[in-house]
Amino acid sequence: MTTLTKEIFEGYTYVDGGVCAAKGFSANGMNCGINPDKEKNDLGIIFSRVPCQTAAVYTQNKVKGAPILVTQENLKKSENIASAVIVNSKNANTCNPDGVELAEKVCQIAAKELQIAPEQVVIASTGVIGERLPLEPFEKAMPELVDGLSEDGNGKAAEAIMTTDTVKKEVAVRFMIGDKECFLGGMAKGSGMIHPNMATTLNFITTDVSIHAPLIQEALSEIVKITYNCLSVDGDTSTNDMVSVMANGEAGNKEIREIGEEYEIFRQALFIVMENLTKMLAADGEGASKFLECTCDGAKDLDTAVAVAKSVISSDLVKTAMFGEDANCGRIFCAIGYAKADFDMEKTEVRLVSEAGNLLVYKDGAAVSHSEEEAAKILKEDKIYILVNLNQGEVSAKAWGCDLTYDYVKINGDYRS
C-alpha cells in the first residue's frame, strides 16, 4: 500500500485508537468460523457504554444487503439511537431469502449479550453476494466477542471487516469544543467494488461529542459528497455500502443542536477523518500500484469541480495509462470533456505532478509539447497528482482513486476462493 502523509489541520491532532479513541467506546474482533482461515478475523463489534445519537448513509444500489435494510429499520424504531455495531466479513448476506430474518436474529443475539435493545444495533456485512450466511457462528461467538470488548480493541475490529484489503484502515483526531477535549475516529474497509454512489464502502465513525442526530446527519450527508463519493477504484457500486456515525456525548460539551461555531468544529473533525479514510481506501485499491488524486480548481461551483475530478479518476483508460506509466494525456483530456458539467475547455489547463516534477500538458484548448523523458519520471512515482484548472471560478474539489492493474483481474477472477 502506498504510504500517505496526513494533512495537518490547525486545532486538530492525529491520535491512535481508531473507533476507540473517543471516550466510552470499546471494540473487539475475532474469527467466528465464517472465514475458514482461522488466522483472519471475520466478526467485529463496536460498543458505547451509553446510547449514541446516530446517523448513517447507505448505498443507492437497487439491490441492498439485508443488513442495510435491518439497520435502516432499527434506527427508525429507535429514533436514531444506537449503542453498538456488529459486522462480519466473508459473506455479504445479500440476495438471500432469509437474509433479513438472519440479520434481525444477529441483532437480537448481540443485544442480549450487551443488555441493550435490538433496535440499538447497527448491523453490517461484507463479502460474497448470494451465498447463505449461517446463524450458528454468531450464536457461538457472541459471548466471547462481547466479553473481549476492550478500549484497545479497535485494531481487532478493523481487521474483522477486511476482505481483499491488504491493510486495516483507521484514523482519529483530538480537538477542543470550548474547554472540553473531544475525539472523533473511524475505521473503514474497501479495496474493490468501489465507485461514487453515496457511501461506497463500510465505514464506522465514533465520537464523544454531544450533538443531536439531525445535525450529525446533515454534516455526514454533506461531507460524503466530497469524500467517499469522490472515490473510484473500479466503477462498481456495492450492495452493502454504509457509513455510520455514533456520538455518545461523553466529552461533556453542551449538546450541539444548531449550526454555529461548535457545529463547524465537529464538522471539520468529521471531514478530516472521512477524507483520510477515503485516501486510504484509494491507495489500497485491489491490485493497485499507484495512488491517484485529481484536483479540479477554478470551477464556477462545487458541482462542476466534483464532476470534473470524478470523471478523471473514474476513467479506466486514465487508470491503465497511469499503471503503464504512459503519458497518453489525451485520455485525461477526454475524461474531462465528458464530465457532466458546463465549462470551457479553451480556458482549461492540465498538469501532471509527482515528487519527480510538475509538467504542463494542456493549455488554450490544445495539448502542450513536453519531454517524454520528464513525463516518464513523473509517472514512475507511486503517488500521481492530476491538476485541472478550469480558470472559470474560485471553487475546487478533489477525487481519489488508483491505477488499474493486471492484479485487479487476478484478484476478482477468483474472488470467491
| Boundaries of every domain in the chain | 15-283, 291-413
- pLDDT computed for residue 38 by the predictor: 93
Confidence of residue 383 (pLDDT cuts 50, 70, 90): very high
For residue 354, count CB atoms less than 10 angstroms from its CB and return exposed for 0-12, middle for 13-18, buried for 19 or more.
middle
* pLDDT of 252 strictly over 90: yes
What is the CATH code of the structural domain delimited by 291-413?
A: 3.10.20.340
What is the value of pTM for the model shown? Answer: 0.87
List of residues 6+ apart from 98 with CB closer than 8 A: 132
Q: Alpha carbon of 294 to those of 53, 244, 258, 370, 404: distances in Å?
A: 35, 26, 34, 20, 16
Confidence of residue 164 (pLDDT cuts 50, 70, 90): confident
* pLDDT of 416 strictly over 50: no
The partner residues of 397 in beta bridges, in order of sequence, read 296
Cell triple for residue 352?
Answer: 501532471
* pLDDT of 257 strictly over 70: yes
Packing angle, helices 330-337 and 316-323, rounded to 10: 160
- pLDDT computed for residue 328 by the predictor: 82
CATH architecture designation of domain 15-283: 4-Layer Sandwich (3.60)
For residue 254, count CB atoms less than 10 angstroms from its CB and return exposed for 0-12, middle for 13-18, buried for 19 or more.
exposed
* pLDDT of 63 strictly over 50: yes
Rounded percentage of the chain residues whose pLDDT exceeds 90: 71
List of residues 6+ apart from 3 with CB closer than 8 A: none
Give ∠ CA 416-224-251 in degrees, rounded to 5.
105
Distance CA 278, CA 409 (A): 22
* pLDDT of 131 strictly over 80: yes
**For 319-370, what is each residue's pLDDT tens digit?**
888 888 888 888 999 999 999 999 999 999 999 999 999 999 999 999 998 8
- pLDDT computed for residue 327 by the predictor: 85
Count Cβ atoms below 10 Å from residue 7 Cβ, excluding itself: 11
| Annotated catalytic residue, options 2, 200, 237, 278 | 200
Residue found under cell 455495531: 85
Query: What mean pLDDT comes out for the span 263-274?
Result: 98
Catalytic annotation on 200? yes
* pLDDT of 239 strictly over 90: no
Closest-CA residue to 286 (of 168, 402, 161): 402
